[in-house]
C-alpha cells in the first residue's frame, strides 16, 4: 500500500452477552482485513481500508509486533477512517511504530 506508514489488521469487535469484546481468536481470522495506517498518534490512527467502516463501529486492531488493541471508529468517509484506541499506545509502542514507519521500504531502495 503505497504511501502508508505501515499495514495492520482490523477485525470487527463483537460484544458478548455481558457487553464485553472478547479478543480475536484463530477461528475469527476469516473476518480480519488488512488496512493501511496513514497517520498515528498515541490515541488515534488514520486508516485506509478496502471496505467502508461505520462511525461508532468497534474494531480490534493488530499493529505490527503488538497484541490486538480495541478501538472505535470516530469518523469514516469512503474508505478512510479515524480510530480512537481504547487505551493509548505506550511511549515505547509509539516510538517502535514510528521507527517502523521511517524504515526504508524495498520500493525506496
What is residue 106's predicted lDDT score, i.e. its pLDDT?
43
What is residue 108's predicted lDDT score, i.e. its pLDDT?
45
What is residue 3's predicted lDDT score, i.e. its pLDDT?
63
For the chain, percent of residues with pLDDT exceeding 90: 67
Q: What is the pLDDT of residues 9-48, one digit of tens each?
A: 999 998 888 888 888 877 778 888 999 999 999 999 999 9
DSSP-assigned states of every residue in the chain? -TT-SEEEEEEE----TTS--PPP-GGGGGG-EEEEEEEE-SSEEEEE-SS---TT-EEEEE-TTS--EEEEEEEEETTEEEEEESSPPPHHHHHHHHHHHHSPPTTT-
Contacts of 62 (CB under 8 A, 6+ apart): 8, 9, 10, 11, 24, 32, 68, 69
Question: Residue range 63-81: average pLDDT?
Answer: 95
pLDDT of 105 higher than 70: no
What is residue 28's predicted lDDT score, i.e. its pLDDT?
77
Question: Residue range 60-69: average pLDDT?
Answer: 94
Q: How confident is the model at residue 2 (pLDDT cuts 50, 70, 90)?
A: low
Amino acid at each position: 500500500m503505497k504511501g502508508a506508514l505501515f499495514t495492520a489488521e482490523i477485525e470487527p469487535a463483537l460484544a458478548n452477552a455481558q457487553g464485553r469484546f472478547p479478543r480475536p481468536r484463530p477461528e475469527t481470522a476469516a473476518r480480519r482485513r488488512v488496512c493501511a495506517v496513514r497517520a498515528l498518534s498515541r490515541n488515534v490512527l488514520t486508516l485506509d481500508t478496502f471496505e467502508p467502516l461505520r462511525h461508532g463501529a468497534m474494531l480490534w486492531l493488530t499493529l505490527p509486533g503488538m497484541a490486538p488493541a480495541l478501538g472505535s471508529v470516530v469518523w469514516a468517509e469512503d474508505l478512510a477512517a479515524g480510530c480512537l484506541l481504547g487505551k493509548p499506545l505506550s511511549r515505547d509502542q509509539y516510538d517502535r511504530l514510528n521507527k517502523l514507519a521511517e524504515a526504508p521500504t524495498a520500493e525506496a531502495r
